Structure 1
């Protein structure tokens, strides 16, 4: 169990609990030792699962195994540099931190704010504000807390990290990333001292036969244990709190704290890079989708234009057959069919103009139908979106002014009149003599 658990980045106990939860039998204690010495062992078969939800097992492993490589390396690099600093100049970091220059320059606002604050019911004072390190601490621990912050910032400067004033605190800029942090005193538990009101309520309860006490047994009280907490990367699994322990003080683990800051800064950078990559992929996918939609719309317009041409060609073939039949008539029959022949010929003449290369090109341009595919970038940038206007796809007759380079659409009647195929109403009106006076 220990060897297999290590492969998944969990403890043997965690793997045993996972197996129990999914009804997977595990070797009993001493199984492998008995097997090694040839003693009989019992091997439990894998039972059938009644609950299908237990058939899939998800083991996440430790946080370190799931972190990007760059994040792990950032933490290791800072640790290595601090170890080299300590080896080259023994006690260099602690000696440098004895100076209070950093406190005078950066922690002045924090000192003023914390000494102006008033203790709350539990005996803590709190300070927040622009350029103020967020603090929650008991008055007796204020000086030690400021010294811890001073030493920490001096140590950070040895690695090129610098404090930066923020609207709601004082951040530490690590490798170009701002990491917010604060310092607080861990609350301890002390016996509750009942107030006069609580004692009176207890006596009333006793008279009513209720022996319970109307107050909690313990109160939160200052413990003297300080902690630096990092206000970044919530729910990431990274360590965010470094506090005093029985075996060592917070001052002794400041290099570890600084390495933790580097780890958080690297994760912030990696998350932003991942967000930018997701944004880039989304933009590319959106560009592909827009291009596909534009291509589909363009193809539909082209097919509609081709259908309009085909319809005219089909009608022309039909009228040509009719014309051939009518032209076969002779004599008196041909004379009676004269107007019909004239109409069919006029109609064919109009169709020939309608599907002529010049008119087709003008009609396609007017309907914004381009049969040449644009470059991909121009196609996306020129897309009008859902509200772009496209004229209807239809073949039209045109009157062309070559001097001005203009083409004006004409109705069937207007074009026929201008082409001299149909008499002009104005000309006919001019031929009619006026009333005599």
Structure 2
């Protein structure tokens, strides 16, 4: 069960419960040992299912199985390095112990802080601060806890991991990533001895047929079981607590703890990479959106400018047709329509000026209308309200000073006066000056 469970990324207990739910028989206790020694064993066949819904099983696996491959590889590589080191240095544990004197300087602040702390009502003392490993531990376990930390940091040094003073603790820098950690004593349960007040309250409640006791059955108490706790990557599925077990002390699994730190460091890197990738994709999406908006705005202006030209072309065609008709008049009729003919000719002259290539180019430049597509990078840099301040799209008449290289916008009357199409004395008519 344990070996198969590993393949699915779950615990043996979880797989056993899954089998029980789906009516799948599993080996009895001692099955493989009996089989190995030639003793008779009972192999239960798969039963027929009354509920067909139980025929399909879905095992999602632990959260660790869904972690990026880079994270799993980092842990495996760290384990291989540590195993290789242990093979080359048989007394690796004693080497780490001898390094205690070197590492003690790093833990001086932790030692001072924990010995100054006062026990709480459950018998634990706690320490935290700049350069102090976060501790919560009982007084009898302090010395062992400091020794565990010394050995752990000495072993970490063999892998190039180093402690780093932080404002609220002592972090371990693993592959360039700073990881906060602490040492805790796991609380145990001790029977609660009721106080005199609690006993009196119970006796007072007895006449009311209230049989519940007005106190906790158990209290938290020091257990002597120590644990190194990694304070990073919450809710990631990675193991964050490594503690004493019944058959294995914390000192014996320090290599596993370090491999866990390497895994956490890899996840921090991967999350940062993923976050940077998300930001990059967001920036690209924003750039595409901005470019699309800028393109649409340019197209709208271009079409408006073309519409203005088309309007003038339509007007010119109309004026040309009228002019042709008026010019066909002779004699007294021609004299009568002389002013009208002069106005049509002036109007045609004005329209031709408005849609002349020179005036069109100046009008487009003045209205900030670009008919040549800009480069993508220049467009992104120029985005952000570029078109919001553009002048309205309209064709204009211009007075050009070639010596100064300037073009000045003119009203229809101003342009007609300067072009000699309107008598100069009309410039003095009230209301015509601009």
Structure 1-normalised TM-score?
0.87
Match of 1:80 in 2: 80
59 and 354 in structure 1: CA distance in 2 versus 1, 3 angstrom threshold: farther
Shift, 1:374, TM fit: 0.8
* Native 8 Å contact 1:162 1:173 kept in 2: yes
Alignment of 1:111-150 (within 5 A): 111-150=111-150
251 and 319 in structure 1: CA distance in 2 versus 1, 3 angstrom threshold: same
Match of 1:413 in 2: 413
Q: Take 2:164 and 2:126, find their aligned partners in 1: how far apart are those partners?
A: 20
| Matched residue SS, 1:333 | helix
Match of 2:214 in 1: 214
Alignment of 1:29-178 (within 5 A): 42=48, 46=52, 59-178=59-178
* Native 8 Å contact 1:103 1:146 kept in 2: no
Match of 1:369 in 2: 369
Match of 1:384 in 2: 384
2 and 90 in structure 1: CA distance in 2 versus 1, 3 angstrom threshold: closer
Shift, 1:104, TM fit: 2.6
Alignment of 1:312-351 (within 5 A): 312-351=312-351
Alignment pair present for 1:194 and 2:191 = no
Shift, 1:214, TM fit: 1.1
Q: Take 1:184 and 1:344, find their aligned partners in 2: how far apart are those partners?
A: 99
Indicate the larger mover: 176-185 or 86-95.
86-95
Q: Take 1:154 and 1:5, find their aligned partners in 2: how far apart are those partners?
A: 35
Shift, 1:10, TM fit: 4.6
Note the alpha carbon deviations across 1:336-378, whole angstroms, 9 max, x for none. Answer: 0100000000000000111111100000000000111111000
Q: Take 1:291 and 1:334, find their aligned partners in 2: how far apart are those partners?
A: 58
Shift, 1:212, TM fit: 2.8
Count of residue correspondences: 412
* Native 8 Å contact 2:104 2:150 kept in 1: no
18 and 425 in structure 1: CA distance in 2 versus 1, 3 angstrom threshold: farther
| Matched residue SS, 2:159 | coil
Match of 1:34 in 2: none
Q: Take 1:210 and 1:160, find their aligned partners in 2: how far apart are those partners?
A: 63
219 and 60 in structure 1: CA distance in 2 versus 1, 3 angstrom threshold: same
Match of 2:400 in 1: 400
270 and 198 in structure 1: CA distance in 2 versus 1, 3 angstrom threshold: same
Shift, 1:82, TM fit: 1.3
* Native 8 Å contact 2:297 2:387 kept in 1: no
Q: Take 2:2 and 2:153, find their aligned partners in 1: how far apart are those partners?
A: 41
| Matched residue SS, 2:423 | coil
Shift, 1:19, TM fit: 9.4
Indicate the larger mover: 189-198 or 314-323.
189-198
| Matched residue SS, 2:294 | helix
Q: Which runs of 5+ in 1 are unaligned?
A: 31-36, 50-54, 430-437
Indicate the larger mover: 210-219 or 317-326.
210-219
116 and 13 in structure 1: CA distance in 2 versus 1, 3 angstrom threshold: closer
